[in-house]
Chain A
């Protein structure tokens, strides 16, 4: 039965894909080879749409792939399947954390992790700066700055810092501006 196979395949992806974002992609490619559910070309469209709609990319991809394979129920099943292993694991870890909440061991571990997480986020910030504010080139030093985008960035940054507005309002303002101006 297609629903059961679909659920099982996405459960497996949820169990092995580590790293978030497009970490599920190689496994979805694998599905294009193993099954006739969708093609590799369709995957590219899925990525574009998943990245430009709200929600985690992995879930968007799963819903899309599931929908293409087995309609509405397929999309729901694929998404639920892909999150199941992680959610169960988080319950186990959460329970362990409760037990060891103030254990010196856990505090030591997190003492090292926090600066690393900060570094990962700085990296993410850099990646998005590259995509939005620098025109792509072979080498970084050949790349050119997109001044309109940088100007808009600075404007939004100051507004955000100064007025502490809700992130969504900032996104809405950007979307409306984008309808009239090309960055």
Chain B
């Protein structure tokens, strides 16, 4: 199979299976591009996600485009982004055209309540994995704690949190933190 087509299909699968926003995508993305395809490393996924987070646009699409670029250049970026949005466009168009009323049926609402619990399981499992990858020493533990306090306690935008942590990581390392 053509590389671009392969990327498109993989990311279409991720798009079709992600319920909820950017965070909910990570467990599915991991399964597809790390566990199944072995295309990138866990660190590469986190870095791409962080960059997407501070960039304008849709986080999930930007993450996909950046990973796609690392796999197959510009063609890879476009294939990944289009793959990611393809299922959404199809599903939403069908719903908008025919199915709007279905979401008012109680049993459907009930099913979605249960799906959200499954999504919680997936996100928490991903959080545990990423905690192990992200917190490797005392300094990263401090950044983790400060970031968590900033967002939980003060509702500071993730954009600023990512920028601040990038700067602090840079200055810490630049000022000789390597010795630790």
B-contacting residues of A (Cβ < 8 Å)?
A: 14-22, 24, 45, 48-60, 63-64, 67-68, 72, 75-76, 79-80, 82-83, 85-87, 89-91, 93-95, 97-98, 104-105, 107-126, 128-129, 131-133, 149, 152-153, 156-157, 160-161, 166-168, 170-171, 173-179, 181-183
Secondary structure call for the A interface: helix
- Contact among B62, B123, B144 for A128, CB-based, below 8 A: B123
Once A122-B127, A167-B27 are accepted as A-B contacts, the answer to whether A131 and B116 lie under 8 Å apart by CB is yes
Q: Are A57 and B21 in contact (CB under 8 A)?
A: yes
Question: Roughly how many angstroms separate A157 CA and B24 CA in the complex, as a whole number?
Answer: 15
Q: Are B134 and A126 in contact (CB under 8 A)?
A: no
| B140 CB → nearest A CB, Å | 4
Q: Are A54 and B61 in contact (CB under 8 A)?
A: no
- B40 interface residue (CB < 8 Å to A): no
Contacts between chains A and B (CB distance < 8 A), count: 361
Question: Roughly how many angstroms separate A109 CA and B165 CA in the complex, as a whole number?
Answer: 8
Once A15-B56, A90-B65, A182-B113 are accepted as A-B contacts, the answer to whether A129 and B50 lie under 8 Å apart by CB is no
Q: Are A54 and B103 in contact (CB under 8 A)?
A: no
Q: Are B74 and A52 in contact (CB under 8 A)?
A: no
- B110 interface residue (CB < 8 Å to A): yes
- B34 interface residue (CB < 8 Å to A): no
What chain A residues lie within 8 Å of B49 (beta carbons)? 117
What are 15 sample pairs from A and B whose C-beta atoms fall under 8 A apart? A16-B56, A20-B58, A53-B95, A56-B25, A56-B61, A72-B93, A115-B140, A116-B162, A117-B134, A118-B131, A118-B134, A119-B143, A121-B127, A133-B120, A157-B121
* Interface bin, chain B: 35 or more
What chain A residues lie within 8 Å of B167 (beta carbons)? 112
Once A87-B78, A171-B19, A179-B111 are accepted as A-B contacts, the answer to whether A112 and B168 lie under 8 Å apart by CB is yes
What chain B residues lie within 8 Å of A178 (beta carbons)? 110-115
Which has the most chain B C-beta neighbours within 10 Å: A60, A149, A181? A60
Q: Are A119 and B120 in contact (CB under 8 A)?
A: no
What chain A residues lie within 8 Å of B9 (beta carbons)? none
What chain A residues lie within 8 Å of B65 (beta carbons)? 83, 86-87, 90-91, 94
